[in-house]
Amino acid sequence: MPEISGYAFPNDITVWWSLMIVMYPYITGFVAGAFIVTSLYHLFGRQEFRPIARLAMATSFAFLLVAALPLQLHLGHPERGPSVMVTPNFTSAMAGFGILYSGYLVVLMLEIWFVWRQEIIARARRSRGVARGFYKLLALYTYDTSPEAIEIDHRAITVLAGIGLPMACMLHGYVGFIFGAIKANPWWSTPLMPVIFLMSAAVSGIALLIVLYQVVAKLTRHPSDQPCVSALARWLWFFLIITLTLELLEIIVMAYEKSEPWHIVSELLTTRLEFSYLSMQMIVGGLIPLILLAIVVMLNRYLHDRVRNTLSTAAALLCLLQVFSMRWNIVIGGQLLSKSLRGLRSPYEPEIFGREGVLAALALLIVPFVILWVFDRLLGIRVAPNGGERPPRPEPEGAASAAAE
Amino acid sequence: MEATKMQPGAETAGAGAATGDRSAGGGSRREFLGDAIRLSGGALVFLAGSSASGSTEPAPKTKAEAYNWEEHSYAYLIDTQKCIGCGSCVRACRAENAVPDGFYRTWVERYAVGMEGSHVDSPEGGMDGFPPLAVGFTVTKSFFVPKMCNHCKATPCIQVCPVGASYRTKDGVVMVDGERCIGCAYCVQACPYGSRFLNPSTHTAEKCTWCYHRITKGLRPACVEVCPTGTRQFGDMKREDDPVRQAIEHERVEILQAHLLTEPRCYYLHLDKEVR
Amino acid sequence: MEHARHVFRALLVLVAGGAVVFLGRGFLVPRSYGLYGHYRYDNVAEQMNAHRPAHAGPQSCTGCHAAQSAKWSSGSHKTVSCEICHGPLAVHVTDGKVSAKMPVDRSFTLCARCHRKILGRPEKFPQVVLEQHVQGPVEGRVCLDCHESHFPKL
């Protein structure tokens, strides 16, 4: 039984939205953030992101494939989950999930197809048997690699990135809207919520890619492209500043206005969420990476490669923690306070096993990397320093996948 | 290597059909595509529309008197000055609706208010009455407030249900379709009054239904039926002589959390500022 | 345009997939959905029959328990429904026939729920502190030692 301090409505003492609902925005945050990075190259033509453009796109896709799972694991009736697409009630932000998710999935799959099309055709030509049939199907039985076709591909990629970017942002922004539009819960109800979610999604996506890039560079024994790393660090710093500003702004305005909920929200933040909000979200996850990234960005030209990599990766890991604790503080924190505004319940401890437990959450985080590995085996993700868009060369199978891992 | 040998041939054949011979090769392919798209589009519209358009008959009436929901518009009146906190309503609701343990479709709160502070308690929703209370300040007034789903007109809960499982009937009762509810608990989060919960056995959302199975048969909700002091009253706004309607029309009534503009249909007499 | 063949093929796959989804959805929408709003209208009738009414009010007891009923309706407990102390009618009567004995609670707890003096009750409502209400030891004493439940005034 949870302990209540003060008074909570009798039905108010259960935390309905569990760890899985913390994982869902965390994962869609990666989807949106990684897509922002890949669009910086494919849509806005920022050449410094060329080395990781494909890695970012594949990462967005890998996380997108598992994005629906935390929701299904949470539902009281997962078998009725598809009802959201059959009879959506469009006054509900949650009903948008079906359209946004499937729409963005289609756009991303198309864009991946166009980006990897030449590789698919090359593999179709190289392979035999079942694999050959698979690649031919994937190529949709067209094998045009002429310069005109490639030009059309590039234009299609740009258009799709242009459509996909707002869709990815909406796929994550609507989650913020789900919380922000609940007038019943004063910790959630703010118009800033979708923006905060989206900015912190960018933070998590860029941070993930920084870490992933370093890992991939180590695995393939290729040095990571330093202009790319410093560009990533610069954008991470930028989005981190915006995110922290917005998160602080929300608190500051609430505290200044001293409207009815502030006394209970401040008690929530200083008692139940003291560790996860003050220590983790603001200081360890906020202030420290802010300083580390400031060093990386402002002292960029004085830094040795290894220092830059280390500082960026450390800052990125802390940012990943920050974004997770931010999701936790909003989702779980909002349910620790009763709608009576007179009581708080004891902190929520997720179960270890069980479908909404810690192990399930960890599995959800690991599966996308498995998907990435499969993606690399099937299509190859090039992160070579001098560009990811080289036309396919007739290399033997083994060396190609080893180089691309 | 066969692939590369076949490809140029296939490509030129395709190219030839598309560019050279439009009337026969490319044209017929284009016509076919056009017909196919038009046909499937029409089928889509027909099939998607027919299910939603309500070409089926509404459900047959249940009783011989054929209850007509257009003739009623229910409202609930609570006079907090009369409540003695016996908890009979909570027990009756539990028995009438098989409410699961630990959750409440209706409950009673006790307020003990003084100049230096206020204390609220609701031990098990008031189900077994209330124990004696000792607080650390001088109590100048104390009272009980029964609560339940307010069956709001502008509900936040129906607004957020993603599958249309939560709805409001024409006679003004908000209910949950247990067959369609997916158990996402969004409505539970959205209700400002804390009147909803997920049933731990059925994993669907549940709340007070104003005993719809009783009021459609001319009975009163169970909580109103048993209330010994007349605190709880149930009425029909469409009846001219209804006492609840008279009270709402002519006396000073309050609603809970008025600033949220949910337009509740549970009206309170003699509510205090301490009550949220 | 010949070089855009792969684009058209991709779009064709897309449209075909979308058609399948849309058609499939048509079969899955429930029949009475959308008749009066975004809900399944059949549920209204289901809710009307969700439970058999368990409570029937004090007038349903007079038929068989006329004596108690008469006494009760002339005393100060006449606003207290029989079902408060005894439980819902459905416990006792099923389909017009007696199915089980109605519970009779003679403990102090039952009366205390309404009449024990606590913060919150209106001043004018009859409530007592048992120690001040009876003379002598309180241990094991219940209200029904002196008061008649259906006509409580002494």
Task: Report the DSSP beta bridge partners of residue B176.
Answer: B166
All residues of chain B having their beta carbon less than 8 Å from the beta carbon of residue C6 are: none
Q: Which residues of chain C have pLDDT under 70?
A: none
Q: Is B48 on the interface with A (CB under 8 A)?
A: no
The answer to whether the CB atoms of B120 and A342 lie below 8 A apart is yes
Distances (CA, A) of A203 to A199, A227, B245: 6, 19, 56
Q: How confident is the model at residue B18 (pLDDT cuts 50, 70, 90)?
A: very low
Any idea what DSSP says for residue B127? B
Q: What are A249's two structure tokens? A: 């702004």
Q: Which chains touch C (3 or more CB pairs under 8 A)?
A: A, B
Say how many CA atoms lie within 13 Å of B193 toward its Cβ: 34
Among all chains, which residue has been given the structure tokens 């055709």? A121
pLDDT band at A3 (very low <50, low <70, confident <90, very high): confident
**A53-66 and A358-379 helices cross at what angle (nearest 10)?**
130
Residue carrying the six token digits 């503009």: B261
> Phi, psi (5° rounding) for residue B158?
-65, -35
Residue B1 has pLDDT above 50, yes or no: no
**Nearest CA to CA, how far is A128 from chain B (Å)?**
10
**Would you tell me which residues 6-65 of chain C have a C-beta closer than 8 angstroms to some C-beta of chain B?**
12, 15, 19, 22-23, 25-27, 29-55, 57
Q: Does pLDDT of B52 surpass 50? A: no
B119: which strand partners? Answer: B112
CB B267 within 8 A of CB B78: yes
CA B81 – CA A168 distance, rounded (Å): 55
* pTM, full prediction: 0.86
- Given a cut of 70, whether residue B32 has pLDDT beyond it is no
Distance from CA of B237 to the nearest CA of A (A): 28
pLDDT value of residue B47: 46
Q: What pLDDT, on the 0 to 100 scale, is given for residue A145?
A: 85
Lowest mean pLDDT, pick from A19-28, A211-220, A235-244, B58-67: B58-67
pLDDT tops 50 at residue B81 = yes
- Which residue in B has a C-alpha nearest to residue C91's C-alpha? B95
Place of tokens 């001043």: C123
Domain count, chain A: 1
Q: Hey, is the C-beta of C153 within 8 angstroms of any chain B C-beta?
A: no
Question: What are the residue ranges spanned by the domains of chain B?
Answer: 69-269
- Whether the per-residue pLDDT at B96 is higher than 90: the answer is yes
Answer yes or no: do C122 and B84 touch at CB < 8 A.
Answer: yes
Report yes or no: A67 and A24 within 8 Å, Cβ to Cβ: yes
Q: Tokens 């205090």 label which residue?
A: B272
Q: Which residue of B7, B109, B203 is in closest CB contact with A143?
A: B7
Compute the distance between CA of residue A285 and CA of residue A318 in angstroms, rounded to an integer. Answer: 5
Cross-chain Cβ contact A10/B194 below 8 Å = yes
Least confident interval from B51-55, B162-166, C116-120: B51-55
Averaged pLDDT for residues A56-76:
94
Query: Quick one: closest CA in B to C20, which residue?
Result: B44
Closest by CA to C16, choosing from B229, B43, B81, is: B43
pLDDT for A194: 94
Contact yes or no for A39/A161 (Cβ under 8 A): yes
Residues 6+ apart with CB under 8 A from A24: A67, A70, A71, A74, A175
Predicted pLDDT of residue A388: 42
Please compute the mean of the pLDDT values over residues A153-174 and round it to a whole number.
92
DSSP B5: H
Class of the domain covering B69-269: alpha beta
Average pLDDT over residues B8-34: 46
Chain A residue closest to B160 (CA)?
A92
- CA dist., res. C51 & res. C38, Å (int): 24
pLDDT of residue C26: 86
Q: Which chains touch B (3 or more CB pairs under 8 A)?
A: A, C
Alpha-carbon span A136 to A124, nearest angstrom: 6
How far is the CA of A183 from the CAs of A188, A273, B40, in angstroms?
Answer: 8, 21, 43
In contact, B44 and C25? CB cutoff 8 Å: no
Q: Cα(B167)–Cα(C38) distance, rounded to whole angstroms?
A: 7
DSSP letters spanning B35-73: HHHHHHHHHHHHHHHHHHTT-SPPPPPSSTT---GGG--
pLDDT score recorded for residue A251: 92
Are the beta carbons of A260 and A337 closer than 8 angstroms?
no
**What does the pLDDT read at residue A96?**
87
- Residues contacting B190, CB < 8 A, separation 6+: A182, A184, B156, B157, B159, B160
For residue B73, is pLDDT > 60?
Answer: yes
Query: Residue B241's pLDDT is what?
Result: 93
What residue numbers bound the domain in which A370 lies?
Answer: 4-404
CATH number, position A203: 1.20.1630.10
Lowest mean pLDDT among A76-80, A123-127, B11-15: B11-15
Q: Residue C95: what pLDDT?
A: 87
ipTM: 0.89
Q: Which of A98-107, B8-17, B187-196, C57-66 has the lowest mean pLDDT?
A: B8-17
Residue A144: which of C3, C30, C33 has the nearest Cβ? C3
Q: Which among C111, C137, C141 is positioned nearest to C126, based on CA atoms? A: C111
Beta-carbon contacts of A398 under 8 Å, excluding residues fewer than 6 positions away, are none
Mean pLDDT of A296-317: 93
- Of A61-65, B38-42, B138-142, the range with the lowest mean pLDDT is B38-42
**pLDDT at position C96:** 83
> Which long-range CB contacts under 8 A does C106-111 form with residues at least 24 apart?
C106/C142, C106/C144, C107/C142, C108/C141, C108/C142, C108/C143, C109/B128, C110/C85, C111/C142, C111/C143, C111/C144, C111/C147
CB pairs under 8 A between A and B: 130
User: Is the confidence at residue A260, as pLDDT, over 70?
Assistant: yes
Interchain proximity C14–A149, CB inside 8 Å:
no
pLDDT on residue A75: 93
Mutate to test the interface with C, among A99, A114, A116, A144 (most CBs of C within 10 A): A144
pLDDT in tens, A175-194: 999 999 999 999 999 999 99
Nearest C-alpha in B relative to C53: B214
Task: Name the pLDDT band for B53 (thresholds 50, 70, 90).
Answer: very low
Distance CA C45, CA C40 (A): 10
CA dist C154 and C147 (Å) reads 7
pLDDT at B20 (0 to 100): 39
CA–CA min distance B249, chain A (Å): 28
To the nearest whole Å, the CA of B241 is away from the closest chain C CA by 22
The per-residue pLDDT for C141 is: 86
pLDDT for the residue B38: 61
pLDDT bin (cut points 50, 70, 90) of residue B28 is low
Calpha distance B268→B129 (Å, rounded) = 21
Q: How far apart are CA A261 and CA B114, in angstroms?
A: 21
Interchain pair C88, B92: CB under 8 A: yes
- 3-class SS of residue A337: strand
How far the first Cα of chain A sits from its last, in Å, is 49
Could you report the per-residue pLDDT of B225-243, keeping only the tens digit for each?
A: 999 999 999 999 999 999 9
A68-124 pLDDT per residue, tens: 999 999 999 999 988 898 899 999 999 888 889 999 999 999 999 999 998 999 999
Task: Specify the pLDDT at position A259.
Answer: 84
Contact A188, A334 (CB under 8 A): yes
Confidence check: pLDDT of B44 > 60: no
For residue A10, give the nearest of B101, B40, B159, B7 by alpha carbon.
B101
